[in-house]
Structure 1
Amino acid sequence: MPSSVRGTIPVFKLYGETGVWPTPDLIHCESIAERSRLHDWEIKPHRHSDLVQLLYVQAGCAELEVEGALNRVEEASLLVVPALSVHGFRFSRDVQGHVLSLALPLVEQLETGLPLAPLAAASCHAVGEEKPRLDALFASIAQEYGQPAAGRDLMLQSLISMLLVWIGRRCLAAQQHEAAPLDKGRVHLQRFTRLLEEHYREHWPIERYATDLGLSAAHLNALCRSLAGLSALQVINQRVLLEAKRNLVYTTMTINQVADSLGFSEPAYFSRFFKRSTGVAPQAFRQRR
């Protein structure tokens, strides 16, 4: 069994491994083929509790899914998989590339001083003309990782820092292309989202979220409608619904267990909530998927 209770989404150290971290480093580097060929080129949905992964597809085709968002890759691309994100991959047999796994303490250390945290959110970057540069950088990381030498840790951290700066620049460019820098309203919405992630199972009323954010309930509602197109209650319900769908699709938990894990006092209340939100009962949703 992976390091999670039976019936939940698998939580692995590395995919398929349930033991301790296989290296004294806070880094693990391997080719995509090295692990995926053991699983018929398919890595089924799972997550990692305490590490971030960078998956670099150099050649071949891949379907890369993170939290339900699917990227079909047919050109060199770099995928960021944050900690605890449910993800799964399918690769063509001719795939070439690398998987770089970074433990969270190292990530936090390396992100210090960067203009943003490039590994905090899932992202997929087409490499384009930068492919020779990324090829050389990952080759250097793999070479340094595979041989003990003086200054190895410092060299690895320096190379990975270069990679994080590259990702950070891509993320900043995407933000600037899509929208102006975050205004105060967007900052409040981000804080609300983080707070919601911590407490959605507790079914806090909107007023409690607003109080913790230093806002009125009306102001929080207005921000959500303006920036997310949903009321604050709808944002909360969507987060609960996402977790319910995950558990119904990826686990063997009973409907009662799913309801209990999400803080519903009665399974019937959960079933009504789910059907009202999706149009189908939880069991019917599970069978369709």
Structure 2
Amino acid sequence: MTTKTTPASVPVFKLYGEEQAWPTPDLLHCESIPARSRLHHWEIQPHRHADLFQLLYVQRGPALIEIEGQLREVREATIQVTPPLCVHGFRFSENTEGYVLSLGAPLVAQLEEQLGPLRVLTAPGCYPVGRDHRHLNTLFATLQREYDASQPSRDLMLHSLVNVLMVWISRRGQENLPPANRDERYGQYLSHFIRLVEAHYREHLTVETFAHRLGLSSVYLNNLCRRLTGQTALQIIHQRLLLEAKRNLVYTTMTISQLSDHLGFSDPAYFSRFFRRLTGISPQAFRQAAEQRSR
């Protein structure tokens, strides 16, 4: 499923294949899997969204899900969470059934005002539905029906249904978390830090600068990151840089020099040393290995 794109970047769409403005005045979009996939021969090539959170509900498979170059085959009812800027693609069979729910970032911000930080939406996650499949079938079918209709209090109904869905996903996302990760205050600091990293990782800011912007000391920020993620603040920053480097090595034809400049490194040799230190191989070797896997 892996496909090379232009040297600039992985394609960024509103909805898949659509570069124009958001197609509706709503802050969400709901459609069935067949509605869009049928138009693309049941294969959605790797792409990403700048400001959309997407929930893919596979009611009945099979489906092949690609997230950041990793493939996963789904044969049971499953919800796949895809945050903004996450490279993803799908391959469905003609009898695959389900829904794709896209949420605009402003809507997610509104939901967080009601529900608290939705950390389950900040990273890709695949959640088997299990015994809740009838409940979720009804929930998504109702969402689709309300979205397509123009009934009184439509916005209120849609937001209420999405709230219910967010509670379900958040509960599933927390099932395997240790108790310490559920501390809301620490979680808010971590979420804010990750948002800052996402916005500024190409600038190579120091941990002290990030901590200052959070109103924390660098020692406190490092301790918080270790407690909640098992990594230091600097490791989180470096992992974000590494992730973007891997994305572009796999999905674009940028040269090593172009990629080094794109990621804010002072020279390609420094970038190559950084990449080798974190992965054990050179950027070029990583790209060659990815090409061999895709073949």
TM-score by length of 1: 0.84
Q: Secondary structure at the match of 1:53?
A: strand
Among 170, 182, 200, the residue aligned to 1:168: 170
Measured after TM superposition, the shift of residue 216 of structure 1 is: 5.2
Contact 2:62 2:73 in 1 (8 A): yes
Measured after TM superposition, the shift of residue 79 of structure 1 is: 1.7
**2:205 is the alignment partner of 1:204:** yes
Measured after TM superposition, the shift of residue 57 of structure 1 is: 0.6
Number of the residue aligned with 1:66 = 67
**1:148 partner amino acid:** S
Closer/same/farther in 2, CA of residues 12 and 158 from structure 1, 3 Å limit? same
**2:136 is the alignment partner of 1:124:** no
Q: How does 1:1-289 map to 2 (within 5 A)?
A: 7-68=8-69, 70-117=71-118, 118-175=120-177, 178-180=178-180, 181-182=182-183, 191-213=192-214, 217=218, 228-289=229-290
Distance 2:18 2:193 in 1: 35
Calculate percent identity across the aligned residue pairs.
57
Name the count of aligned residue pairs: 284
Distance 1:214 1:157 in 2: 33
Q: Secondary structure at the match of 2:79?
A: strand
Closer/same/farther in 2, CA of residues 115 and 247 from structure 1, 3 Å limit? same
In structure 2, stretches of 5+ residues that fail to align are 291-295
Measured after TM superposition, the shift of residue 267 of structure 1 is: 1.9
Measured after TM superposition, the shift of residue 100 of structure 1 is: 1.2
Greater relative contact order (Cα 8 A, min sep 6): structure 1 or 2?
2
In structure 1, stretches of 5+ residues that fail to align are none
**More displaced stretch, 97-106 vs 274-283:** 274-283
**More displaced stretch, 271-280 vs 15-24:** 271-280
TM-score by length of 2: 0.82
Contact 1:116 1:168 in 2 (8 A): no
Q: Secondary structure at the match of 2:14?
A: coil
TM-align CA RMSD: 2.9
Measured after TM superposition, the shift of residue 78 of structure 1 is: 1.3
